[in-house]
Amino acid sequence: MSRDISAKGKLAEYRRSIDNIDAALVMMLAERFKITQKVGAFKAEQGLPPADPGREDEQITRLRRLAAEADLDPEFSEKFLRFIIDEVIRHHRRAGSES
């Protein structure tokens, strides 16, 4: 029984750290989308296409390197960036079709 309680305590402690990190991730994503919204409006204004494959390749190469340095699976960092970029492009397309 006391072993169960300490097991629960240990799990709860890990989860508090995960919750703190998730709050920080959400806040930074909010900030990132504020910037990409500006980029989207700016691209639409300048007649630039929403996606930019050359820029994306650079971002992926850089993030894979940073991930490796931080002991994060580089494959996952690439998947993560594509997940974010897909959402950004959806936003840009939506903004473009509204204008």
Residue with tokens 């629960």: 8
Separation of alpha carbons 49 and 62, rounded Å: 22
Q: Which has the closest alpha carbon to 36: 55, 16, 19?
A: 55
CB of 24 to its own copies, least distance (A): 6
Which residues lie near its own copies (CB under 8 A)? 7, 10-11, 14-15, 17-19, 21-36, 38-39, 42-43, 46, 55, 59, 62-63, 66-67, 70-73, 76-77, 79-81, 83, 87
The answer to whether 92 and 40 have CB atoms below 8 angstroms apart is yes
Nearer to its own copies, 54 or 97 (CB): 54
Nearer to its own copies, 31 or 57 (CB): 31
